């Protein structure tokens, strides 16, 4: 089942959702620890999945340079709105794709690692 980011299909295989708190830990000579909280980072979400076709791969790459935020839609509805920070793709040795009936059987299939910075 495909997900979409900015209406671009992604066949998601794994999602890693990370939240980070900015803290400093001080260790005085007397012992113990003192923690200073400086805030937090907006969530970072990493998605591993499959992208079929050069058009979808190139459209995702344009999301990086546009500077905009887009919505990731899952089969359960809108998942998050975020900037696409980083994208890494690897062409697979796929002889015949069958995920997208609207594309040719010999359309390229990419394994993708996508990192999103979510706006909260």
Could you tell me the domains of the chain? 3-118 (2.40.30.200)
Q: Are 76 and 43 in contact (CB under 8 A)?
A: no
Q: In this structure, what token pair is assigned to residue 120?
A: 């909260």
| Predicted local confidence at residue 57, as pLDDT | 96
| Predicted local confidence at residue 87, as pLDDT | 97
Cα–Cα distance measured from residue 2 to residue 50, given in angstroms and rounded to the nearest whole number: 9
**By C-alpha distance, which of 106, 110, 105 is closest to 91?**
110
> Over the stretch 8-23, which tens digit does the pLDDT of each residue have?
999 999 999 988 899 9
The low-confidence residues of the chain, meaning pLDDT below 50, are none
């Amino acid at each position: 089942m495909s997900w979409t980011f900015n209406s671009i299909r992604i066949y998601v295989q794994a999602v890693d959702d990370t939240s980070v708190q900015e803290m400093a830990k001080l260790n005085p000579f007397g012992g113990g620890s003192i923690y200073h909280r400086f805030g937090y980072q907006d969530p970072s979400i990493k998605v591993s999945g499959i992208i079929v076709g050069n058009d979808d791969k190139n459209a995702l790459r344009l999301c990086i340079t546009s500077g905009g935020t887009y919505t990731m839609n899952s089969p359960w509805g809108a998942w998050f709105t975020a900037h696409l920070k980083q994208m890494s793709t690897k062409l697979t040795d796929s002889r015949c794709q069958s995920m997208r009936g609207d594309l040719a059987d010999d359309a390229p299939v990419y394994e993708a690692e996508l990192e999103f910075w979510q706006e909260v």
